[in-house]
Homo-oligomer: A and B are copies of this chain.
């Protein structure tokens, strides 16, 4: 079953939009009120390009929430359970954001641009309203905005060669999660060694939305030598790598402890943060669910339209949130959120639209 997506002014176009259309994008989702390319029509080819070569992605939909002002650092810390005391300028951190009940409400990376300027680079929810409300009602001296910043990702093992051709060989020494403010042919941007894949790469935080297609062309041109091609956040690779898709894998009952994110919750730090008391209670009791991996038997799974219920015997024990066929493992794999009481088990069944199938619990990430 396939459907068209409506185009209209309620949803924003990315600064790279026209370039992605020219490059042959076939499918979009909407993410942070912006059209986000999710396929160019060759899912497996795009996968192998990311695994073995280099791929360029319009991920402008990963919007920034900027905190600027004397209390920016204090507010940033109040907004996350991760301990930011050692975060230096020029470094980013991946972290959970929680509400006052300890529910996971976003999993951004945080970039410290200066002592009084930070960007939360956010997943798909309007965190700007959350941050604005907290800042204003709790009295932080901070201005909260969505700046004109749009991400172009260059991902894959050969990404470093493309970026070195563009910015010089010193980028080869950049450490993971480090970034620098720079420019390319006069286009202002932040170059960061980050990205939503485990294949290595960089993200260009374009700081002038009018230059999107120009930046796209520069990268595409430099990438030709390395056989760069258009791609998107990759459905298969992210399952293999067990990268969290906020809102897909977690739900409004989830704490960070249900995911690998739990290790970024520092309950012992001196600083106060939203959800501290609630998270202490959840940590003491243990989270009721955990994310696991499963192998699913039977014919190749293309994708799942919605979470598939999981059973142990006849008992509903959770859901497979995302499933696919892994070309490297040559097996169907899935991420699942299950009751902790089945963690000792080996076999479950999963309800697919074509009927129940056997599933075997395994560890994640798959790679």
A315 at the interface (CB under 8 A from B): no
Q: Which residues of B contact A99 (CB under 8 A)?
A: 129, 132-133, 136
A289 → chain B closest CB, angstroms: 15
Q: Which residues of B contact A7 (CB under 8 A)?
A: 1, 3, 303, 305-306
Q: Find the B residue at minimum CB distance from A245.
A: B10
The contact of A5 among B29, B130, B138, by CB within 8 Å, is: B29
The contact of A105 among B10, B29, B39, B129, by CB within 8 Å, is: B129
The segment from A20-28, A168-176, A193-201 that touches chain B is: A20-28
The contact of A1 among B9, B21, B127, B247, by CB within 8 Å, is: B21
Contact status A5-B8, CB under 8 Å? no
Q: Which residues of B contact A248 (CB under 8 A)?
A: 8-10
Q: Find the B residue at minimum CB distance from A12.
A: B306
What mask results when residues 96 to 133 of chain A are scored 1 for a CB within 8 Å of chain B, else 0?
00011000010000000000000000001111011011
Contact status A3-B27, CB under 8 Å? yes
Max chain B C-beta neighbours (<10 A), residue from A124, A125, A136, A252: A136
Q: Which residues of B contact A354 (CB under 8 A)?
A: none
Contact status A33-B100, CB under 8 Å? no
Please report the C-alpha to C-alpha distance between residue A34 and residue B128 in the assembled complex, in whole angstroms: 20
Q: Find the B residue at minimum CB distance from A320.
A: B9
What mask results when residues 279 to 318 of chain A are scored 1 for a CB within 8 Å of chain B, else 0?
0000000000000000000000001111100000000000
What mask results when residues 178 to 216 of chain A are scored 1 for a CB within 8 Å of chain B, else 0?
000000000000000000000000000000000000000
Please report the C-alpha to C-alpha distance between residue A126 and residue B137 in the assembled complex, in whole angstroms: 18
Contact status B5-A28, CB under 8 Å? yes
What mask results when residues 239 to 256 of chain A are scored 1 for a CB within 8 Å of chain B, else 0?
000000111110010000
A217 at the interface (CB under 8 A from B): no
A38 at the interface (CB under 8 A from B): yes
The contact of A130 among B133, B138, B146, B307, by CB within 8 Å, is: B133
Contact status A100-B136, CB under 8 Å? yes
Contact status A30-B30, CB under 8 Å? yes
The contact of A304 among B9, B29, B125, B126, by CB within 8 Å, is: B9
Contact status B6-A4, CB under 8 Å? no
A74 at the interface (CB under 8 A from B): no
A134 at the interface (CB under 8 A from B): yes
Contact status B9-A27, CB under 8 Å? no
A160 → chain B closest CB, angstroms: 29
Q: Which residues of B contact A321 (CB under 8 A)?
A: 9
A interface with B by C-beta (< 8 Å): 1-13, 21, 25-30, 33, 38-39, 99-100, 105, 124-127, 129-130, 132-134, 136-138, 146, 235, 245-249, 252, 274, 303-307, 321-322
Q: List 14 extra interface pairs beyond A4-B4, A5-B28, A99-B133, CB under 8 A.
A: A3-B4, A3-B25, A4-B26, A6-B27, A8-B29, A9-B248, A9-B305, A9-B321, A10-B246, A33-B124, A99-B136, A100-B136, A105-B129, A129-B129
A and B contact pairs by CB, cutoff 8 A, 7 listed: A5-B29, A6-B27, A6-B39, A8-B304, A33-B125, A99-B133, A146-B252
